Amino acid sequence: MPMSGELRLVSVTKRFGGFTAVDDLTLTVPQGSFFALLGPSGCGKTTTLRMVAGLEEPTAGRIRLGEADITRLRPYRRPVNTVFQSYALFPHLDVFENVAFGLRRRGAPDVAGRVRQTLDLVELSGYERRRPAQLSGGQQQRVALARALINRPKVLLLDEPLGALDLKLRRQMQIELKRIQTEVGITFLHVTHDQEEAMWMAETVAVMNAGRVEQMGPPAEIYEFPATRFVATFLGKSNLLAGRVTGTAGADVTVEVAGGRFALPQPRNRASGESVLLGVRPEKVRMARPTDVVPDGHNRLPGVITDTCYAGVSTEYLIRTGWGQELSVFSSNATADSPLPPGTEIVMHWNPAHSFLLDRPQGAEPEPPEPDEVAASPGSRFEEVR
Amino acid sequence: MTALTGVTVGQAPPPATPPRPRRRLIAYLLLLPGGLWLALFFVLPMAGLASTSLYDPAGSLETGYQMTWEWRNYVDALREFWPQFARSFWYAGLATVAGLLLGYPLAYMIAFKSGRWRNLLLVLVIAPFFTSFLVRTLAWKTILADNGPVVEALRAVGLLGPDGRLLATSFAVVAGITYNFLPFMVLPLYASLEKIDRGLIEAASDLYASPATAFRRVTLPLSMPGVVAGTLLTFIPAAGDFINAELLGTPRQYMLGNVIDSAFLVRLDYPQAAALSFMLLAAILLLVFGYVRRAGTEELV
């Protein structure tokens, strides 16, 4: 049963001339949820947001808010407000009048009281008479948020609202935004290209690429079990090994990569074809000395450390496999052991349940050669590791 | 410089003052050419004009003028020519309002709606400058002529009586002034409209403002610098104009510019001409000062 205020996009398409910005997009944003549209620039996420705001009209498809079809409604008639990427604060009005703008247009009562209350919420009391130009970036951001929130929209649209802030302020505003969302209970539709921001803040993340949603779900689900090669590399890093499915062994699928055999449980398999990508996140990979004992049932892959980057909480290693591909391994610095130097021969191993299997897109990764071919051209083939 | 560094060795960092006089000197040097130009061709003639305005009006070019501090020149000139004085500001005001009403939609259209025609339209706005001011005003004589198409059309629809005419009326003069100064209105308006971030208008629309309200609350206030600049650039030269009244009007439409023109060049009454010039200057300065102060404190960012 649809809730009264959920936002639904049904087969929405937007074309600009010959370019398809949003391609047959269908998604549902539950009422009161914090929903993030995540994707690289040009993936259509901002266009999607602008269509919900009414600033662009879909070429095809419908947008519904609860029971109402708002597809063709003018922006000033929609119960939706936007926090713009550039904030778009009115430079000729002070903070008070900026925040009061929406209320005044609708002739709402008690403008002064509600403005005061909203400025309290974003912790900007005392700034009423300042002009936007006299505020810092973070303060302007909060005015933009207050100006939208005060209208109690059914959906609040946030278009990369933190993009212009420096890292520290961004972290602080992320916490603030989450607090405010919980406090007011309004649906937040947040557009961002920052995967950490999306995972940190949203209950549901939709990863967009080339106008389509590649995967949608809670952040942990998407991260732990990405549905496509794009999601696996855009959301965090993934080591992707190009191989072939060779069969099944009990509840496991077996995969061959450059002569080596790997297994993983059937539920971790999203591949339908034979040529596949075996994926494993860098922090899921452990390292052992060649002489060490590797836990039972783990997949094993020998390699040589080519680079060691100490990053405080963890150390990031680049490890070259026998066929010349460089894999990434994050090792937690929970103990004070000194990092392994480049040149060390190690064995990578991981729990099969931590890996995943995807279909290999045509022409994406070349399959590594068999080991004997490798000797002839060491290091000549490697793939991008993200 | 070496002496300075010798003194500061081993001491606290030198104060920031030493390079200052030098920098100031450079600033003055840069001001010098412009300053000299203004002194020679503006301040000096103004002083000359000021003293001329106080000469004994009994003198003439042949007999020479006596400096008698004749303040009465001002009183006499004003008493004699106050209708032209008032008409100057009335016509200039009418032309400014007409220019704003014509120019704002035009500038708005070029800034927001013209797309790829923008540059062509801007060239068309400036194109009249390629011919002389005089020729363009004379062309209006033809346009508004008694047997011209405009008058004939207006007579046909009854908006003008059978003997009604446009030429040699106040309408002709104001229309001429409006036309001649329209580019000075359109260009600053265009510049300030074009600068407005479209995102602000989208934001207004997102915040429940209909297009008309968004224009009134956002676009118009943000274009006020252009409105102020455009109206000043139209009003100031229009108040001192005499060509339009001369060519499109009759002595009954004469403005202060015509009086000054004839006092200087026909009647050769230099003291009176100088006094009138000074009064026009003072009146324009006062009006502009008051206007900018009002507009500046209330509307400008």
Q: What percent of chain A has pLDDT over 70?
A: 95
Amino acid residing at B77: A
pLDDT for B1 beyond 90: no
pLDDT for B19 beyond 60: no
The average confidence (pLDDT) of chain B is: 89
pLDDT at B17: 52
pLDDT at A371: 58
pLDDT category of residue B57 using cuts at 50, 70 and 90: confident
DSSP string, B12-56: SPPPS-TTHHHHHHHHHHHHHHHHHHHIIIIIHHHHHHHHHTTB-
B167-184 pLDDT, tens per residue? 999 999 999 999 999 999
**Residue B203 to chain A, least CA–CA distance (Å):** 6
* Separation of alpha carbons A300 and A347, rounded Å: 7
Facing residue for B202 by CB, picked from A55, A77, A92:
A55
The residue of chain B nearest to residue A90, with distances taken between CA atoms, is B200
pLDDT for B12 beyond 60: no
A259-286 pLDDT, tens per residue? 889 999 999 999 988 899 999 999 999 9
Q: Residue range A212-228: average pLDDT?
A: 95
B127-179 pLDDT, tens per residue? 988 999 999 999 999 999 988 899 999 998 988 888 888 899 999 999 999 99
The residue of chain A nearest to residue B202, with distances taken between CA atoms, is A55
pLDDT category of residue A335 using cuts at 50, 70 and 90: confident
Q: Would you tell me how many other CB atoms lie within 10 Å of the CB of residue A49? A: 23
In a mutational test of the A interface, the residue from B195, B206, B216 whose CB has the highest number of chain A CBs within 10 Å is B206
Facing residue for A91 by CB, picked from B207, B213, B301:
B301
Q: Which residues of B touch A98 (CB under 8 A)?
A: none
**Residue B222 to chain A, least CA–CA distance (Å):** 7
Facing residue for B206 by CB, picked from A75, A91, A106:
A75
A301-324 pLDDT, tens per residue? 999 999 999 988 899 999 999 999
- Among candidates B237, B199, B224, which has minimal Cα distance to B291? B224
Q: Residue range A28-46: average pLDDT?
A: 94
Between B148 and A54, the higher pLDDT residue? A54
From chain A residues 297-356, the ones with a CB under 8 A of any chain B CB are none
Contact B199 A131 (CB under 8 A): no
pLDDT category of residue A58 using cuts at 50, 70 and 90: very high
pLDDT for A364 beyond 80: no
Q: Any CB–CB contact under 8 A between A151 and chain B?
A: yes
Using only C-alpha atoms, chain A has a radius of gyration, in whole angstroms, of 25
The tokens for B174 are 């104001």
A75-133 pLDDT, tens per residue? 999 999 999 999 999 999 999 999 999 999 999 999 999 999 999 988 899 999 999 99
Per DSSP bridges, beta strands A34-38 and A204-209 are parallel
* Separation of alpha carbons A188 and A57, rounded Å: 21
ipTM of the complex: 0.82
* Separation of alpha carbons B114 and B121, rounded Å: 8
**Residue A144 to chain B, least CA–CA distance (Å):** 10
A59-63, A71-75, B7-11: the lowest-pLDDT one: B7-11
pLDDT at B64: 82
Q: Which residues of B touch A52 (CB under 8 A)?
A: none
In a mutational test of the B interface, the residue from A46, A90, A103 whose CB has the highest number of chain B CBs within 10 Å is A90
The average confidence (pLDDT) of chain A is: 90
Q: Any CB–CB contact under 8 A between B146 and chain A?
A: no
With beta carbons less than 8 A apart as the criterion, state whether A237 and A314 touch.
no
Q: Would you tell me how many other CB atoms lie within 10 Å of the CB of residue A356? A: 24
* Separation of alpha carbons B242 and B186, rounded Å: 22
pLDDT for A378 beyond 80: no
pLDDT category of residue B3 using cuts at 50, 70 and 90: very low
A162-172 pLDDT, tens per residue? 888 888 888 88
Q: Residue range A57-77: average pLDDT?
A: 95
Largest CA distance in chain A: 80
pLDDT for B120 beyond 90: yes
B63-101 pLDDT, tens per residue? 888 888 889 999 999 999 999 999 999 999 999 999 999
The residue of chain B nearest to residue A100, with distances taken between CA atoms, is B207
From chain A residues 50-79, the ones with a CB under 8 A of any chain B CB are 53-55, 74-77
pLDDT for B299 beyond 60: no
pLDDT for A369 beyond 90: no
Residue A4, Cβ density class (10 Å: 0-12 exposed, 13-18 middle, ≥19 buried): exposed
Size of the A and B interface in Cβ pairs below 8 Å: 65
Q: Any CB–CB contact under 8 A between B199 and chain A?
A: yes
Q: Which residues of A touch B208 (CB under 8 A)?
A: 76-77, 102, 105-106, 151
Between B120 and B14, the higher pLDDT residue? B120
Contact B199 A76 (CB under 8 A): no
Q: At what angle do helices B170-194 and B224-239 cross, to 10 degrees?
A: 150
Contact A92 B213 (CB under 8 A): no
Contact A151 B200 (CB under 8 A): no
Q: What pTM was estimated for this model as a whole?
A: 0.81
Q: Which residues of B touch A145 (CB under 8 A)?
A: none
Q: Is B67 helix (H, G, I), strand (E, B) or coil?
A: strand
Q: Residue range A40-55: average pLDDT?
A: 94
**Which one-letter DSSP state was computed for residue B70?**
-
pLDDT category of residue B8 using cuts at 50, 70 and 90: very low
**Averaging pLDDT over each range in A16-20, A248-252, B105-109, B145-149, which range is the top one?**
B105-109
In a mutational test of the B interface, the residue from A49, A85, A92 whose CB has the highest number of chain B CBs within 10 Å is A92
Which residue's entry shows tokens 């991981």?
Answer: A350
Q: Which residues of A touch B221 (CB under 8 A)?
A: 92
- Among candidates A250, A247, A223, A385, which has minimal Cα distance to A320? A385
pLDDT at B56: 87
Sheet with A314-321, strands from edge to edge, namely A286-288, A345-350, A299-310, A314-321, A326-332
